[in-house]
Protein backbone atom coordinates (compact mmCIF):
# COMPACT_ATOMS: atom_id res chain seq x y z
CA UNK A 1 0.00 0.00 0.00
CA UNK A 2 1.20 3.49 -0.79
CA UNK A 3 2.35 5.41 2.29
CA UNK A 4 0.60 8.55 1.03
CA UNK A 5 -2.78 6.82 0.62
CA UNK A 6 -5.68 8.81 2.04
CA UNK A 7 -9.19 7.60 2.76
CA UNK A 8 -12.68 9.10 2.61
CA UNK A 9 -16.03 8.17 4.08
CA UNK A 10 -18.74 8.54 1.45
CA UNK A 11 -22.50 8.47 1.89
CA UNK A 12 -24.56 6.78 -0.80
CA UNK A 13 -28.07 7.95 -1.75
CA UNK A 14 -29.67 5.06 0.20
CA UNK A 15 -27.97 6.33 3.39
CA UNK A 16 -25.19 3.80 3.89
CA UNK A 17 -21.59 4.95 4.26
CA UNK A 18 -18.44 3.22 3.14
CA UNK A 19 -14.73 3.87 3.32
CA UNK A 20 -12.93 4.29 0.01
CA UNK A 21 -9.39 5.22 -1.03
CA UNK A 22 -9.02 8.74 -2.39
CA UNK A 23 -8.50 7.64 -6.01
CA UNK A 24 -12.04 6.21 -6.05
CA UNK A 25 -13.62 9.35 -4.58
CA UNK A 26 -11.94 12.41 -6.06
CA UNK A 27 -12.74 13.33 -9.65
CA UNK A 28 -15.51 11.96 -11.84
CA UNK A 29 -17.08 9.82 -9.09
CA UNK A 30 -17.72 12.73 -6.72
CA UNK A 31 -21.28 13.29 -7.95
CA UNK A 32 -22.24 9.69 -7.09
CA UNK A 33 -22.10 10.46 -3.35
CA UNK A 34 -24.56 12.44 -1.23
CA UNK A 35 -21.88 13.51 1.25
CA UNK A 36 -18.24 12.80 2.02
CA UNK A 37 -15.88 13.22 4.95
CA UNK A 38 -12.10 13.23 4.84
CA UNK A 39 -9.41 12.83 3.81
CA UNK A 40 -8.11 10.65 6.63
CA UNK A 41 -4.47 9.60 6.90
CA UNK A 42 -5.23 5.96 7.63
CA UNK A 43 -8.01 3.47 7.02
CA UNK A 44 -8.19 2.90 10.79
CA UNK A 45 -8.91 6.58 11.42
CA UNK A 46 -11.63 6.51 8.76
CA UNK A 47 -13.20 3.43 10.37
CA UNK A 48 -13.28 5.16 13.77
CA UNK A 49 -14.91 8.26 12.24
CA UNK A 50 -17.48 6.13 10.39
CA UNK A 51 -18.49 4.51 13.69
CA UNK A 52 -19.04 8.00 15.08
CA UNK A 53 -21.15 8.99 12.08
CA UNK A 54 -23.29 5.86 12.49
CA UNK A 55 -23.79 6.59 16.19
CA UNK A 56 -24.72 10.19 15.38
CA UNK A 57 -27.35 8.96 12.92
CA UNK A 58 -25.67 10.47 9.85
CA UNK A 59 -24.91 7.09 8.25
CA UNK A 60 -26.51 3.67 8.12
CA UNK A 61 -24.22 0.64 8.60
CA UNK A 62 -23.45 -1.34 5.44
Quick one: which of 41, 60, 59, 50 has its CA closest to 19?
50
- Each residue's pLDDT, cut to its tens digit, for the chain (62 residues) gives 555 799 999 999 999 999 999 999 877 677 788 999 999 999 999 999 999 999 999 999 87
Q: Flag whether 41 is in a domain.
A: yes
What is the sign, positive or negative, of the torsion defined by CA atoms of 45, 4, 1, 8?
positive
Buried b (16+ CB within 10 A) or exposed e, 43-57: eeebeebbeebeeee
Q: Flag whether 61 is in a domain.
A: no
Which domain does 36 fall in, by range? 7-55
Considering its fold, how many domains does the chain have in total?
1
pTM, full prediction: 0.86
Amino acid sequence: MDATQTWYIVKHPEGSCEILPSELVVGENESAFVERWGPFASQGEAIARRVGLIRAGKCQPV
